[in-house]
Amino acid sequence: MKLYGIPNCNTVKKARTWLEENGVTYEFHDFKKQGIDEATIQQWLTQAPWDKLVNRAGMTWRNLSDSEKAAVSDNASATELMMTKTSVIKRPLLFKDGTILALGFDAEKYQQTLKS
């Protein structure tokens, strides 16, 4: 199981704490240090639309110019944005065996998904 995110994100911190407190073993993928490759994003896009993977409520998105925001309109343009500005990816993203288990953190969803 792999948890994607950035370590100083409060939501990622909550997810990591929940996983550790519940004895769930995971590998942490730090977008800031490790980046993200196109193949991984393409795999995610088979399971979630680009507008769910791009966090349009976050500061990274809000700090984009209007023209940069307008240029993100499909999988290809969203992929390019996610690869160049990894902080725009919705986080945390919990992934196991080729499947997105959770996008964002919700303790109830983690409980249902990981303890069932």
Residues known to be catalytic: 9
Q: How many helices (H) and strands (E) does the chain have?
A: 8, 4
Q: In which order are the strands placed within the sheet that holds 99-103?
A: 27-30, 2-5, 93-96, 99-103
Pairwise CA distance, residues 22 & 111, whole Å: 9
Query: Is omega for the bond preceding 92 within 30 degrees of 0, making it cis?
Result: yes
